[in-house]
Amino acid sequence: MSNQIKTVVLLTVLSVLFIYIGKALAGQQGMVIAFVFALIMNFVSYWFSSKIVLTLYRATPVPEDHEVYQLVREVATAARAPMPKVYRIPSMSPNAFATGRNPQNGVIAVSEGLLRILNAEELKGVLSHEMSHIVNRDTFISAIAATIASSIVMLANMAKWAAIFGGHRRDENGRGSGALELLAMAIVAPIAATLIQLAISRSREFQADQRGAGIARNPYGLISALQKISQASKEVPLEFATPATSHLFIVNPLGWGLLTKLFGTHPPLEERIQRLRNLRPHGSS
């Protein structure tokens, strides 16, 4: 199954889960109210997510005469994509992310630490990866998935309190949702939503690695960059990093414990590197 089809299926499952829990919690009226609330959240995410995340990480625009700006222009030309805005994060933790609702409004942000430890080939590999996210509209898809998943968690919390305080709802046909059903939903729904969101995020990372290597014309710069970023970011944590934004970065900025491996937004680094090593450089036979 292609990543595009897989993403559509997973987003559909998320949406169905959201509608189901809303209906079970408060019937048709509750479903409609929750759905409208989700639409509002999606609207805010679509139009303002870039500004929010750039403000959160205190990112500032990179001048056009800066070396990284010129390298982004080269990558955008190779990808046949519009030139994105380029921002710099004032942190010595090496990392980068892409955001923007579409390729015409794309943004690439790189940290001071990233610029310090990577050479030109490695930096080109990272920028090509981020450009791939913009071209593939991954930033928009991830924002929608995160919004729906957050809405499901919100509804699940409502179901939990309804179950605790003896919630029991009946619809117009006399069918009801008892406390046990609501409690089970409150436990299962957030886990299911999180796993689906992670599946979407991880599949897009693999695709961005592959396409980014194609834009850069070889996978070796990105391989070396991932190794350097992973090692250095363990020593220098990224300030202000949050679970809500961790999926944006090229390497998870929150740590590398067992829970991160199981429930992290990124695939295991070793698997990403192995897949990149299996790629042939552009133009090789």
Contacts by 276-280, CB closer than 8 A, 24 or more apart: 276/209, 276/210, 276/213, 276/219, 276/222, 276/223, 276/226, 277/219, 277/223, 279/210, 279/213, 279/219
Q: Is 283 within a domain?
A: no
The domain total for the chain is 1
pLDDT, position 161: 65
172 annotated active-site? no
Q: Is 211 within a domain?
A: yes
Among 20-24, 86-90, 119-123, the range scoring the smallest mean pLDDT is 20-24
Residue-range definition of the domain harbouring residue 131: 3-277
pLDDT, position 242: 75
pLDDT, position 248: 85
Given 130, 181, 239, 270, which residue is catalytic?
Answer: 130
Q: Is 285 within a domain?
A: no
* Cα atoms in the Cβ-side hemisphere of radius 13 Å centred on 88: 15
Question: Contact 88/62 with Cβ under 8 angstroms?
Answer: yes
pLDDT, position 62: 97
Question: What are the Cα distances from residue 61, in Å, to 58, 65, 108?
Answer: 10, 12, 10
pLDDT, tens digit (0-9, with 9 covering 90-100), for 155-184: 676 666 666 665 545 444 444 455 666 666
| Tokens 């680094």 found at | 269
Q: Is 152 within a domain?
A: yes
pLDDT, position 285: 42
Q: Is 282 within a domain?
A: no
From start to end of the chain, where are the E strands?
Answer: 60-61, 85-89, 96-99, 107-111, 169-170, 176-177
Q: Determine the average pLDDT of the residues in 6-34.
A: 65
Global pTM reads 0.76
| Tokens 């990093």 found at | 241
pLDDT, position 61: 98
pLDDT, position 175: 44
The average confidence (pLDDT) of the chain is 79
pLDDT, tens digit (0-9, with 9 covering 90-100), for 123-147: 999 999 999 999 988 877 776 666 6
Where residue 83 falls (left for φ over 0; alpha for ψ -120 to 50; beta otherwise) is beta
* Band (93; pLDDT cuts 50, 70, 90): very high
- Gap between the Cα atoms of 200 and 265, Å rounded: 9
